[in-house]
Chain A
Amino acid sequence: MLEIKGLTAKVEEKEILHGIDLTVNAGEVHAIMGPNGSGKSTLARVLAGHPGYEVTGGTITYDGQDLLELAADERARKGVFMAFQYPVEIPGVNNAYFLKAALNATRKEQGLEELDAIDFMTLVKGEAKRLQMDDSMLQRSVNEGFSGGEKKRNEIFHMAVLQPRLAVLDETDSGLDIDALRVVSEGVNALRSPERAFVVVTHYQRLLEYIVPDHVHVLSEGRIVRSGGRELALELEDKGYGWIESAGAGARR
């Protein structure tokens, strides 16, 4: 579904990614781990098409098409979703209204009929309930005045409603207490399916106890330095990132 080859990218004239290779198949969950500043979030934003990040080399193929040719909103309408590390507030814009515009833009692109207000509300109320979100969060302005946990929950809620094919979660676990983490993870697990893939970016192993990945990749200084299965995450937990970093530095020498 997703094939990244030799990807290099820079932001504000500084190269952050120095050549990423990654293949993600439908149905798989890939975890991207790494210390702060290793380029995890950059990778997530490049996938989503953030205009502030410039791809300087390499390719990204998604469902057989060149993803880099598409603007962020086009990618989203083709089923690429990113859950933000820091969800953005949009004052005065009702959360449900916002999501309806998003869903119908995507449905239109896919040749589906737009949902009317009633069908839409039935859908979102069901999803909100599953994520133990209060109905009032639908009527509040997008992320405005939401607590950190509410914001993250809202991201997963958006994902559940939009039903993307490729979901990129950027440090969704940061700032969540254990209960919220469980709810959010259950939301993600409920969406796991043979047609859908996840790229889960996280600093901590903790999240992966709830969202069990098929593959784990460790990013250091803009490169994937180790790939493995679930056990790699546990190994990291024991030994810390220092172990990987020195190994990575050794490999380059």
Chain B
Amino acid sequence: METATTKVFEDLAAQDYKYGFVTDVEQEIVPKGLDEDVVRLISTKKGEPGWLLEWRLKAFRAWQKMTEPTWQNVTYNAIDYQDISYYAAPKEKPKLNSLDDVDPEIRRTFEKLGIPLEEQKLLANVAVDAVFDSVSVATTFRDKLAKAGIIFCSFSEAVREHPELVRQYLGSVVPHTDNFFAALNAAVFSDGSFVFVPKGVRCPMELSTYFRINAKGTGQFERTLIVAEEGAYVSYLEGCTAPMRDENQLHAAVVELVALEGATIKYSTVQNWYPGDKDGKGGIYNFVTKRGTCRGARSKITWTQVETGSAVTWKYPSCILQGDDSVGEFYSVAVTNNRQQADTGTKMIHLGKNTRSTIVSKGISAGLGQNTYRGAVKVAKGAANARNYSQCDSLLIGDKCGAHTFPYLEIKNTSAKVEHEASTSKIGEDQMFYCASRGIAMEDAINMIVSGFCKEVFRELPMEFAVEAQKLLSVSLEGSVG
């Protein structure tokens, strides 16, 4: 039936990406290409110790022998790894002594993105680390956090100031040989965030990193490491945007979380990388490895993600439930509109006794978008009384998009209880008409139906972020109806 609603569904695609501007700042970009010399160059530029360079080189050599994975349910143009520049940094100011030293152009960029770098203008209870291309340009509220014994700084700084901590935990969750993209990241990672919350400390504010890709022809390879010692608590948020460019840019990050006995880490992501235009030209390839280990008993890791951007997303934030009674959670909303593709999900690996995991995945497809949930639940032999609950729901807007679900189970202990529920629904003409008959305009109706669909995930986000995420979602779907 060719009706106004169908038309509206088709139009939902035609929306503008409002973070697509480019900042004109003088940058130092290393020539394109990748070999051992480039790895050494990055390490030298960052003034790294020998052990770290060795680690990078081991990763690089391993990467050379690996092949790019092809099992994921996405298609993209082959990446020429020699046609990427692996390091881009704004020139001058090698060391920032205060927030006032941030290049005004970059400061304006973050302001435009809604992330003012002056502490008094920030959301009162959020500390921010701002990463611009390959380097961290500012971290706010450091002094306040330091008083509580919390370390929150750029990765490079952590290598300089706290090498023993970095060395202890780096690669302990995602080894340098873990997978093709993780190995690449280990070889060339340039910056990222480092968080350390000592024993018994509850982090008094949300910690946040904002990633911005600006330079052309570069990739972004950041690395985040968060360690929560015994009984510690931290909630961490990351956000990301990039300019609109016709070329595809690679973002291959690694995130490692370590929760010791009784510790809790909440990791939330609002991912809004440039998704490409409506014909699928340009956009970010978001190939990311995120994993957390609940190393101690009664520890807990929660991943919450709202994925609205990127041309192609390949990402499976996972939990290794090693400690007895530890808990892993994964809450995800992934939106694919126009020609976006997402293959995302999680792995819950139950090793300890009485470990519990929850998976709630909400996939929304509009336009020609393809959305795949891929998840694995593994229960090891020794993991007595493991519990998992998985729920995977897909929502289709229009009739040219697709949703796919691949749940994998591997249960080696008979006391395990694993539940899986899945549903696929469509925003139907009848729902739209029902809303209209009550005076609710079409765009508002879509937003309402979509928010209702995502409710279980949004309520896991910190409040300010939940509001942002909801707005972002309506922008992402703008024009797909209307």
* Nearest A residue to B439, CB-CB: A76
Main DSSP-derived SS at the B contact region: helix
* Nearest B residue to A94, CB-CB: B452
The answer, yes or no, to whether A242 is at the interface (CB within 8 Å) is: no
Q: Given the known A-B contacts A50-B433, A51-B433, are A93 and B452 also in contact in the complex, defined by CB atoms under 8 Å?
A: yes
CA distance A51 to B435 in the complex (A): 13
The answer, yes or no, to whether B449 is at the interface (CB within 8 Å) is: yes
Q: Are B434 and A90 in contact (CB under 8 A)?
A: yes
Q: Are B452 and A77 in contact (CB under 8 A)?
A: no
* Nearest B residue to A105, CB-CB: B439
The answer, yes or no, to whether B162 is at the interface (CB within 8 Å) is: no
CA distance A82 to B429 in the complex (A): 16
Q: Given the known A-B contacts A52-B429, A84-B434, are A105 and B441 also in contact in the complex, defined by CB atoms under 8 Å?
A: yes
CA distance A88 to B427 in the complex (A): 11
Q: Are A88 and B444 in contact (CB under 8 A)?
A: no
Chain B residues with CB below 8 A from A209, complex form:
none
Smallest CB–CB gap between A245 and chain B, Å? Answer: 30
CA distance A77 to B437 in the complex (A): 9
| Interface 1/0 per residue, A68-102 and B, CB below 8 Å | 00011100110001101001101111100011011
Q: Given the known A-B contacts A12-B1, A52-B429, A90-B431, are A81 and B448 also in contact in the complex, defined by CB atoms under 8 Å?
A: no
Q: Are A52 and B436 in contact (CB under 8 A)?
A: no
Q: Are B441 and A73 in contact (CB under 8 A)?
A: yes
The answer, yes or no, to whether B430 is at the interface (CB within 8 Å) is: yes
Q: Are B449 and A105 in contact (CB under 8 A)?
A: no
The answer, yes or no, to whether A109 is at the interface (CB within 8 Å) is: yes
Give 8 new A-B contacts, CB below 8 A, not counting A98-B435, A158-B438: A48-B437, A71-B436, A72-B433, A73-B442, A90-B449, A90-B452, A92-B449, A92-B455
CA distance A39 to B434 in the complex (A): 20
The answer, yes or no, to whether B25 is at the interface (CB within 8 Å) is: no
* Nearest B residue to A99, CB-CB: B438
The answer, yes or no, to whether B177 is at the interface (CB within 8 Å) is: no
The answer, yes or no, to whether B453 is at the interface (CB within 8 Å) is: yes
The answer, yes or no, to whether A187 is at the interface (CB within 8 Å) is: no
The answer, yes or no, to whether A202 is at the interface (CB within 8 Å) is: no
The answer, yes or no, to whether A162 is at the interface (CB within 8 Å) is: yes
CA distance A76 to B5 in the complex (A): 17
Q: Range of interface residues on chain B?
A: 20 to 34
The answer, yes or no, to whether A49 is at the interface (CB within 8 Å) is: yes
* Nearest A residue to B456, CB-CB: A92
* Chain B residues within 8 Å of A, Cβ to Cβ: 1, 3-5, 425, 428-431, 433-442, 444-445, 448-449, 451-455
Give the 10 A-B CB pairs with smallest separation, nearest first.
A92-B452, A76-B439, A72-B436, A93-B452, A102-B438, A88-B434, A73-B436, A51-B3, A77-B439, A105-B439
The answer, yes or no, to whether A220 is at the interface (CB within 8 Å) is: no
The answer, yes or no, to whether A106 is at the interface (CB within 8 Å) is: yes
Most buried by A among B3, B436, B437: B437
* Nearest B residue to A144, CB-CB: B452
Smallest CB–CB gap between B172 and chain A, Å? Answer: 39
* Nearest B residue to A86, CB-CB: B430
Q: Of B429, B440, B451, which is within 8 A of A105 by CB?
A: B440
CA distance A84 to B429 in the complex (A): 14
Q: Are B434 and A87 in contact (CB under 8 A)?
A: yes
* Nearest A residue to B453, CB-CB: A92
Q: Are B4 and A71 in contact (CB under 8 A)?
A: yes
Smallest CB–CB gap between B442 and chain A, Å? Answer: 7
Chain A residues with CB below 8 A from B453, complex form:
91-92
CA distance A72 to B430 in the complex (A): 12
Q: Are B431 and A88 in contact (CB under 8 A)?
A: yes
CA distance A15 to B384 in the complex (A): 65
Chain A residues with CB below 8 A from B436, complex form:
49, 71-73, 76
The answer, yes or no, to whether A141 is at the interface (CB within 8 Å) is: yes
A-B contact pairs, 15 of them (CB 8 A): A48-B433, A48-B437, A71-B4, A71-B436, A72-B433, A73-B445, A76-B436, A81-B438, A84-B434, A92-B451, A93-B449, A93-B452, A98-B448, A99-B438, A101-B444
Interfacial residues of chain A within 161-181, with CB under 8 A of chain B in the complex = 162
Q: Given the known A-B contacts A91-B453, A92-B451, A92-B452, are A51 and B429 also in contact in the complex, defined by CB atoms under 8 Å?
A: yes
Q: Are A72 and B437 in contact (CB under 8 A)?
A: yes
Q: Are A52 and B3 in contact (CB under 8 A)?
A: yes
CA distance A90 to B395 in the complex (A): 12
Q: Are B435 and A73 in contact (CB under 8 A)?
A: yes
* Nearest B residue to A88, CB-CB: B434
* Nearest B residue to A12, CB-CB: B1
CA distance A109 to B1 in the complex (A): 30
CA distance A52 to B455 in the complex (A): 30
Chain B residues with CB below 8 A from A158, complex form:
438
